[in-house]
Amino acid sequence: MNRREFLETVAAAAALPSFVRQPGTNEWGAPVFDLHFHMRPQPAANLAHLDGAGVTKANLLTRGAALDQVKAIDAAAPGRFTWFNSYDVTKPDAEQVLTQAVKAGAQGFGEMKFHVAADGPELRRMYALAADLRVPILIHFQEVDHFKGEGAWSTGYAKTFESILKTYPKTTFIGHADAFWANVSSDYHNEEAYPSAAISKGGVTDRWLADHPNLFGDLSANSGNNALSRDPSFTPDFLKRHQDKLFFGSDCSCTDGHGGGVSQANNPAAARLAGKCVARETLTVLKRSSSDEVFRKIVSGNIHKLLRIPA
C-alpha cells in the first residue's frame, strides 16, 4: 500500500459509522488463525503477539512435556489457543509420548523438525501414527543451512515426498519451510534457502498441492512469505488455485506483533524480514493478492474446518 492508498483507507475507515464495524471483525476484515505459533513460556507473551498483530486465535507449537504451560495459557485466554506437540522422532518412546499428547488434547503433530530423511523410518512411523490418531502432521523441510553447521531437516523432500503422499493416503500432511516453499518453482535445486527470482511454473509443491488431497501448505516464516512475495505475477493465481489447501501461519518471534524484539530468531538468511512482524507482512501480501473469500479461507476458514474449530 502506498501513502496515498493508506491515507484513503484511513479516511474511509474514519467515515464509517461505528455500527458498521461489527463485533468480532478486526483490522484484517476476517478472523485470523495463526497455525504456526511457537509457544512462549509466559501466557502474557503469547497474547501480546496475537493482540499486537490482530490475530484472533493461534495454534501453539510445543515440544515434549507442555501440558501445564498449555493449560496456563488456555486459562489466561479461553478459546484462543489450540496446540500441536512434537517429540524427538529418533527416540524409541516417540509414538507413546505423542499418542499421550493427543489424548491430552493436542490436535496435531508439529512442528516436526529433526535431522532425519523425509522418507526415513523415524518419520514414517509418525506418518502412520498421525493417520491412526486422525491428526495432521506439520513438517519442516530444509536442505540448505542458514548458518554454518546447522544441518538439514526432513531431507529429500523434492525427490521422495510424492511417494510418501501416495503411501500414506490417510495422513494429513502440512508442509512448511524452505524446501517446501522454494519448490513452488520448477527450477529449484537447493542452491539457496530463499530464492528471489521469478517463479518457473510447475514446481513440485504447486503440482502436489493440486494432485494430492492429503497435502496442505503452511504459509508461515520467511519461506512462506518469500514464496508469496518473490513474483507478484505468480501469487494471486497460486492462492486461488490452492484456496482450500493453504493455511496462514507466522512462525514470528517478534514480541509485540509489530516487529519488536527479534523476529525470525536472528536467522541471517531471513534478513529481509528483520525488524518486521512476519504475521503482519504475510497477512498484508495475502490480503492484496486474494479476493475476500479466498483470504478468509486461507487465514481461518480452512484450518477451522480441519481442526473443527468454531469460528
- Residues in contact with Zn ion by CB under 5 A are 140, 177, 252, 254, 277, 279
Cβ proximity to Zn ion: between 86 and 235 the closer is: 86
Q: How far is the CB of 179 from Zn ion (least distance, A)?
A: 11
Q: Cis peptide leading into 281, omega within 30 of 0?
A: no
- Min CB(122)–Zn ion separation in Å: 17
Q: C-beta of 252: minimal distance to Zn ion in Å? A: 3
Nearer to Zn ion, 279 or 303 (CB): 279
Nearer to Zn ion, 246 or 277 (CB): 277
Q: What are the residue ranges of helices labelled H in the chain? A: 3-15, 43-53, 67-76, 94-103, 121-133, 157-167, 178-182, 204-211, 221-229, 235-241, 278-289, 292-296, 302-307
Residue 138's SS3 state is strand
Nearer to Zn ion, 104 or 271 (CB): 271
Residue 294 beta carbon to Zn ion: minimum distance, rounded to whole angstroms:
23
Q: Nearest approach, Cβ of 181 to Zn ion (angstroms)?
A: 11
Burial 197-215 (b: 16+ CB within 10 A, else e): eebeeebbbbebbeebebb
8 Å CB contact between 47 and 56:
no
- Nearest to Zn ion of 51, 95 (CB atom): 51
**Could you give the C-alpha distances from 304 to 27, 75, 307, 310, in angstroms and in order?**
19, 21, 5, 7
